[in-house]
Every structure is written in C-alpha cells, then in structure tokens.
Amino acid sequence: MNELSPEQLAFDQAANGLLPAIVQDAKTRTVLMQGYMNREALDVTLQKGLVTFFSRSKQRLWTKGESSGNVLQLVSVHPDCDQDSLLILANPAGPTCHTGDDTCWGEDNRGDFLDHLERTIQHRRDNPSEQSYTSKLLARGINKVAQKVGEEAVELVIEAKDDNRDLFLGEAADLMYHYIVLLAAKGYTLEDVREVLRGRHK
C-alpha cells in the first residue's frame, strides 16, 4: 500500500476539497462504509485515532459513532496511486451502518471463518459458560489445553497414513480448533502468527 503523506494528497483538485474515504475492517477486511474527508477531517482522524469525516449534509466534521458510540478506531490510512482517494483500515466498536447493520451494504462483518471462530473462542474465554466445551477446556488451564493440541496432532498424523478423506479432515479440523484455543489461552491471535509468517516470507 502507498505510504500516507497528507501534503501530497489531491485535496485542492477534489470537488469541494473532499476525497472519498473507504473504510475497511482491519481484521476481517470487510468493507464497512464510504465517507468523505477534507484535510481537517484527516488531521482530526490522525490526531484522535477515531475516523472522522466531513458531513456534506451537515456541512461540518463528523466523527463516526459520535452519537451511537459505534466508533471506528483508526489503524492506518492509505492513499490510492493518484492520491485522490483514501483506504481507511479501522476496528469497529459495533455496527457501522446507521440502520444497525454491520456494513452500509447490509453484509455481515464476519470475515474469514477462522477469524470468526477465533472471535467466538475469545468470547467463550472472556464470558465463560457452563454449557460451552471451549469455556470448560480453558478453565482446566494451559497444561490441559496444550495436551489436547498434542493429542489432536498425533491423531492427525495417524490419519495421514491412511486414505480416509473424512477422518483426515475431521482430525485436521479438531487440531485447528484446539490450536486456536491454545492461542487464546496464551493471549495471542492468528494475526500474531500471520505476522511471524509474513516476516519469514520476506
């Protein structure tokens, strides 16, 4: 992505000094909404860390979520190749659309299924339920969680020696699930692992 240099952005050439700004969830990569920014809105966004637009209807700066509380926590800003539109990566604090939908296109902001699964596991960790296998496993401590990962890994290796697709994939799914539980128990995320892999890929 292009590095942000506000001085090089084409505000002067844009209609009414406004650049379109597309907001994307930094974790799920789901497109959440589009707004418009002038230079002041961009400056406020960078200073406060909350995505702020220029409202064409109200003719003033408008911080997303200033009424609902569903703010967009800024992660990064990237201009396009012509410096006349912006891609905003942010973490939403709730539904983004004023209708209550996750996005302004009515899409669920679940992203990749593994990321959705990870958020569910983290929720079970932070909000334990007696009916939840995940909560019960986490309550037994890190040693038990790590042991389950080892057991599932061995079972996957055993199934890899045969040609039963369903059994192999079932064990692969079991290992993946318990691996994500282990990450959650240690306080890490799949994104932390992705960062390590990206670093090795250079």
164/193 same-domain check: yes
Contact by Cβ (8 Å): 101, 26: no
pLDDT digits (tens, 9 = 90+) for 47-77: 999 999 999 999 999 999 999 999 999 999 9
CATH number at residue 174: 1.10.287.1080
In a domain, 158, yes or no: yes
13/50 same-domain check: yes
pLDDT digits (tens, 9 = 90+) for 151-196: 999 999 999 999 999 999 999 999 999 999 999 999 999 989 999 9
Calculate the CA dihedral of residues 89, 94, 95, 96 and round it to 10 degrees.
-40
- E strand or H helix that includes residue 4: none
In a domain, 97, yes or no: no
| Total residues found in the chain within this entry | 202
46/126 same-domain check: no
Question: Residue 202: is its pLDDT beyond 80?
Answer: no
Q: What are residue 45's phi and psi, to 5 degrees?
A: -60, -45
In a domain, 182, yes or no: yes
**What are 130's two structure tokens?**
């007696």
Number of domains in the chain: 2
pLDDT digits (tens, 9 = 90+) for 98-147: 999 999 999 988 878 898 899 899 999 999 999 999 999 999 999 999 99
In a domain, 101, yes or no: no
The reported pLDDT for the residue numbered 2 is 64
